[in-house]
Amino acid sequence: MSWNIAAECISIVFLSIILVYAYKGTLLPSWKNRMFQCCLGATFAAMVSNVLSTLLLASPHWVDSWLCWGVTEIYFLATPLMGLAYYCYTAATVFEEHAGGRRALWLGILPGVLYAVLVLLNPWTGMLFTIRAGVYLRGPWIITTYLIFYFYCLISVVLVRRFRRWLEPQIYKILFVFPLIACSVIVVQQLFPDVILSGSAATTAILLIYLYLQNKQISLDPLTGLGNRVEFQKMISLSMQNNRSLFLVMVISLRDFKQINDHFGQRTGDHFLKQIASTLKTMAAPYPLYRFSGDEFALLIRNRTPKEMEKLEQDILARFNKPFEIDGYSYRLHAVIGLAAYPNSAESLEGLINGLEYAVNQAKLHHWKLCYCDQTMLEGMRRRTEIIEILKQKLQEQAFVMVYQPILEVKTGRISAVESLMRIPESPLGPLSPGEFIPIAEETGLIIPMTWQILRQICVMIVRLHEQGMTLPAVHVNFSAVQLVQPELAETVLRTLRECRTDPKQIIIEITETALAENPEETIRFARTMMEHGVKIEMDDFGTGYSNIDSVMHMPLSTVKLDRSLVVSAVENPRSATMTGYLIRVFHELGYEVLAEGVETVEQDQFVRAEGVDLIQGFYYSRPLAETQLTEFLAHFQDQQPSGA
What CA–CA distance (Å, rounded) separates 295 from 336? 11
Q: Is residue 383 part of a domain?
A: no
Domain hosting 141: range is 6-217
Burial category of 642 from C-beta neighbours within 10 Å (exposed 0-12, middle 13-18, buried 19 and up): middle
Task: Using alpha carbons, select from 499, 509, 506 the residue that is nearest to residue 470.
Answer: 506
Predicted local distance difference test score (pLDDT) of residue 175:
79
pLDDT at residue number 138: 83
* Distance from C-alpha of 352 to C-alpha of 341, rounded to nearest angstrom: 7
User: Do 462 and 576 fall into the same domain?
Assistant: yes
pLDDT < 70 regions, the chain: 1-29, 58-65, 97, 134, 186, 188-219, 243-245, 544-548, 550-551, 637-645
How many Cβ atoms sit within 10 Å of the Cβ of residue 612? Answer: 12
Helix H or strand E encompassing 391: helix 375-397
Number of neighbouring beta carbons within 10 Å of residue 255: 15
CA 344 to chain centre: 20
> Looking at the structure, do residues 510 and 614 belong to the same domain, yes or no?
yes
Question: Residue 386: inside a domain, yes or no?
Answer: no
Q: What is the DSSP string of 341-364?
A: EETTT-SSHHHHHHHHHHHHHHHH
533, part of any domain: yes
Q: Of 173, 197, 217, which closes a domain?
A: 217
Report the number of distinct structural domains present in the chain.
3
Residue 514 domain flag: yes
Q: Are residues 174 and 314 in the same domain?
A: no
CATH assignment at residue 480: 3.20.20.450
Tens digit of pLDDT for each residue in 488-523? 899 999 999 999 999 999 999 999 877 777 778 888
209 touches 92 (CB < 8 A) = no
Comparing CA positions, the residue from 435, 476, 249 lying closest to residue 357 is 249
CATH of the domain at 176: 1.20.1070.10
Domain shared by 66 and 98, yes or no: yes
Cβ neighbours, 10 Å, residue 177:
14
- Is there a domain that residue 380 lies in? no
b (16+ CB within 10 A) / e for 145-159: bbebbbbbbebbbeb
Residues 454 and 429 in one domain: yes
Predicted pLDDT of residue 374? 81
Asked whether residue 630 falls in the same domain as residue 489, the answer is yes
For residues 106 and 240, membership in a common domain is answered with no
Burial (CB count within 10 angstroms: exposed 0-12, middle 13-18, buried 19+), residue 621: buried
Same domain, 244 and 206: no
Final residue in a domain of this structure, among 356, 373, 390: 373
Please say whether the beta carbons of 411 and 466 come within 8 A: no
Q: What span, in angstroms and rounded, lies between the C-alpha atoms of 597 and 622? A: 12
The whole-number pLDDT of residue 644 equals 42
Domain endpoint, select from 194, 217, 240? 217
pTM of the model: 0.59
Q: Hey, which residues does 562 pair with through a beta bridge?
A: 542, 596
pLDDT of residue 645: 40
pLDDT of residue 363: 86
Phi-psi bin for 507: left (phi > 0), alpha (psi -120 to 50), beta?
beta
> What Rg value do the Cα atoms of the chain yield, rounded?
38
Identify the CATH number of the domain in which residue 339 sits.
3.30.70.270
**Residue 482 confidence (pLDDT):** 87
Residue 179 counted as domain residue = yes
In-domain check, residue 236: yes
Task: Show the 3-state SS of 498-546.
Answer: HHCCCCHHHEEEEEEHHHHHHCHHHHHHHHHHHHHCCCEEEEEEECECC
Quote the pLDDT of residue 189: 64
Clarify whether residues 265 and 174 are in a common domain: no
Q: Which amino acid is at 562?
A: L
Same-domain status, 597 and 617: yes
User: How crowded is residue 191: how many other Cβ atoms within 10 Å of its Cβ?
Assistant: 8
Does 410 share its domain with 548?
yes
pLDDT of residue 580: 92
Longest dimension (CA), the chain: 127
pLDDT for res 537:
94
Which is nearest to 96 in space by CA: 284, 194, 283, 234?
234
Same domain? For 269 and 122 the reply is: no
Contact 420, 439 (CB under 8 A): no
Q: Is residue 224 part of a domain?
A: no
